[in-house]
């Protein structure tokens, strides 16, 4: 019995060391290709279309447990959310799963939910929130859910979903339906993506960012590599971009985009 315990303990230690080495190697490989800060979020939650800067409280699973709700949109423990919140959340997630399929849904992570309280506008103003107003208030939206589609620990595609008091989703799904979903090729590395981009566009350096995007026309996820703007000038500046199909990395396209600067 004692030998078994020692064997299990030693095995766990060895596995922990191997996992640590894998993580360190992964981080080193990433740092050799591109600064991790340049791997940025893709997509857009889309909140600006639904109650942007309106009186609301944010809730998630690691939020503040204080009974005194803050007015700064710092997350509050979701256990304190109104009784109907979690049933609505389950309804939203079941709708996502049915629409996109189990494989896509398995990579979805819940971040938080905003719940809107238009009648508390004065409370927010008195608490020092002059930016809060009802200018963009959409009376239909009671909840706004924030999710991330994450193929790894660095890249994420942002998904926002506006929902009525009764749990009806009123914002469009900005991700593919099950029949058009193509799983991301997990053999990618950021070094590999950069190499692919450089082959089709030798002038992609220096690289400003890498992000995961969703193309609504083709209904496919794409890696977008964007050149950093160097020696900018007033007026129109041109940048190179490369898109790589996230499910089929042989599908590559180079794009020239423009950025207008006014001094």
Give tens-digit pLDDT for 215-257. Answer: 999 999 999 999 999 988 999 999 999 999 999 999 999 999 9
Domain boundary among 179, 213, 230: 179
Q: Residues 185, 246: contact at Cβ < 8 Å?
A: yes
Q: Residues 197, 206: contact at Cβ < 8 Å?
A: no
The pLDDT, as a whole number, for residue 32 is 64
Q: Tell me: do 58 and 165 sit in the same domain.
A: yes
| Among 230, 232, 237, CA closest to 206 | 230
Q: Classify 211 as helix, strand or coil.
A: strand
Q: Tell me: do 44 and 150 sit in the same domain.
A: yes
Q: Tell me: do 84 and 171 sit in the same domain.
A: yes
Sign of CA dihedral 124, 129, 134, 139: negative
Domain boundary among 179, 204, 223: 179
Q: Tell me: do 173 and 44 sit in the same domain.
A: yes
**Encoding tokens for residue 136?**
């963009």
The total of other beta-carbon atoms located within 10 Å of residue 31's CB is: 11
Q: Tell me: do 57 and 137 sit in the same domain.
A: yes
What range does the domain containing 23 cover? 2-31
Sign of CA dihedral 152, 113, 59, 87: negative
Q: For residue 241, is it within any domain?
A: yes
| Among 257, 260, 230, 232, CA closest to 243 | 257
The pLDDT, as a whole number, for residue 153 is 87
Predicted confidence (pLDDT) per residue in 22-65, tens digit: 343 444 444 468 999 999 999 999 998 999 999 999 999 999 99
Q: For residue 184, is it within any domain?
A: no
Q: Tell me: do 130 and 152 sit in the same domain.
A: yes
Q: Tell me: do 16 and 78 sit in the same domain.
A: no
Contacts of residue 198, defined as CB under 8 A and 6 or more positions apart, other chains included, come to 204, 205
| Among 79, 71, 75, 76, CA closest to 54 | 71
- Distances, alpha carbon 258 to alpha carbons 37, 92, 210, 217, 239, in Å: 23, 38, 17, 21, 6
Q: Tell me: do 79 and 163 sit in the same domain.
A: yes
* 153 vs 203, higher pLDDT: 203
What value does the mean pLDDT of the chain take? 89
Q: Tell me: do 55 and 101 sit in the same domain.
A: yes
**Encoding tokens for residue 104?**
């896509």
The total of other beta-carbon atoms located within 10 Å of residue 33's CB is: 17
Domain boundary among 149, 179, 209: 179
pLDDT band at 73 (very low <50, low <70, confident <90, very high): confident
% residues pLDDT > 70 (the chain): 88
> Taking the mean position of all CA atoms in its chain, how far away is CA 92?
17
Q: Looking at the 3D structure of the chain, how many domains does it have?
A: 3
Statement: residue 13 has pLDDT above 80: no
């Amino acid at each position: 019995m004692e030998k078994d315990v020692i064997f299990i303990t030693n095995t766990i230690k060895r596995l922990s060391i191997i996992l640590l080495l894998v993580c360190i190697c992964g981080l080193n490989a990433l740092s050799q290709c591109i600064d991790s800060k340049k791997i940025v979020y893709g997509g857009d939650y889309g909140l600006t279309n639904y109650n942007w800067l309106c009186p609301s409280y944010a809730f998630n699973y690691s939020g503040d447990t204080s009974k005194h709700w803050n007015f700064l949109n710092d997350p509050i423990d979701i256990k304190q959310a109104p009784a109907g919140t979690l049933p609505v959340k389950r309804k939203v997630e079941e709708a996502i799963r049915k629409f996109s399929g189990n494989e896509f849904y398995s990579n979805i992570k819940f971040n938080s939910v905003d719940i809107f309280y238009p009648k508390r506008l004065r409370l927010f103003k008195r608490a020092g929130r002059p930016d809060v107003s009802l200018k963009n208030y959409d009376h239909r939206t009671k909840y706004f859910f924030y999710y991330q589609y994450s193929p790894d620990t660095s890249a994420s595609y942002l998904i926002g979903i506006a929902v009525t008091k009764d749990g009806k989703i009123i914002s469009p799904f900005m991700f593919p339906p099950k029949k058009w979903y193509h799983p991301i090729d997990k053999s990618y590395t950021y070094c590999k993506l950069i190499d692919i981009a450089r082959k089709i566009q030798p002038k992609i350096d220096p690289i400003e960012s890498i992000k995961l995007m969703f193309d609504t026309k083709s209904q496919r996820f794409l890696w977008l590599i964007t050149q950093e703007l160097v020696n900018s000038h007033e007026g129109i500046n041109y940048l190179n971009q490369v898109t790589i199909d996230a499910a089929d990395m042989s599908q590559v396209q180079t794009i020239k985009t423009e950025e207008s600067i006014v001094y």
